[in-house]
Structure 1
Amino acid sequence: MAPISCVQCGTTSNPCRCKVVGPTLGFLAFVVTGVVEWPVGAVVYCFKHAKGRRIMAHPATVVYPCVSNAIPI
């Protein structure tokens, strides 16, 4: 299995203008929370559509950006 690596170029958070560690850890956190929250969101969506959509969108809108932006490398 090849190692997972995400690269974000053009950022101003460090002198190199590229980030590798932050986006990679952000992606891994996104996958872990997605595995838990997407099935829960799908069940909630059956009863409350807006709440289910918010739960399923949480990894992409909150978790990934927070983790990725917290690590400037």
Structure 2
Amino acid sequence: MLCVQCGTRSNPCRCKVVGPTLGVLACAVAAVVEWPVGAVVYIFRHMKGRRIMAHPVNVVYPCVSRSIPI
């Protein structure tokens, strides 16, 4: 799997490949752990469970993708 993000200003080529690809992989690894935990928490506390399940997409992917400029 290869992710490409074009139109960025973080490097001279204006295209990122490594950052978004590693971001998707990190998101998938985090999701394997956090989604089942979020589903259990959702039974008792709906909003907390939703935040836990959204964490890989809202926090993990952007952090990893932004940290690698190529």
Q: Same fold (TM over 0.5)?
A: yes
Moved over 4 A (4+): none
Please, what is the CA RMSD of the aligned residues? 0.3
Q: In proportion to residue count, which structure has more helix?
A: 2
Gaps of 5+ in 2: none
Which residue of the partner structure matches residue 46 of structure 2?
49
Whether 1:64 aligns to 2:61 is yes
Which residue of the partner structure matches residue 2 of structure 2?
5
Corresponding pairs, count: 70
Q: Identity of paired residues, percent?
A: 79
Gaps of 5+ in 1: none
TM-score with structure 2 setting the length: 0.99
TM-score with structure 1 setting the length: 0.95
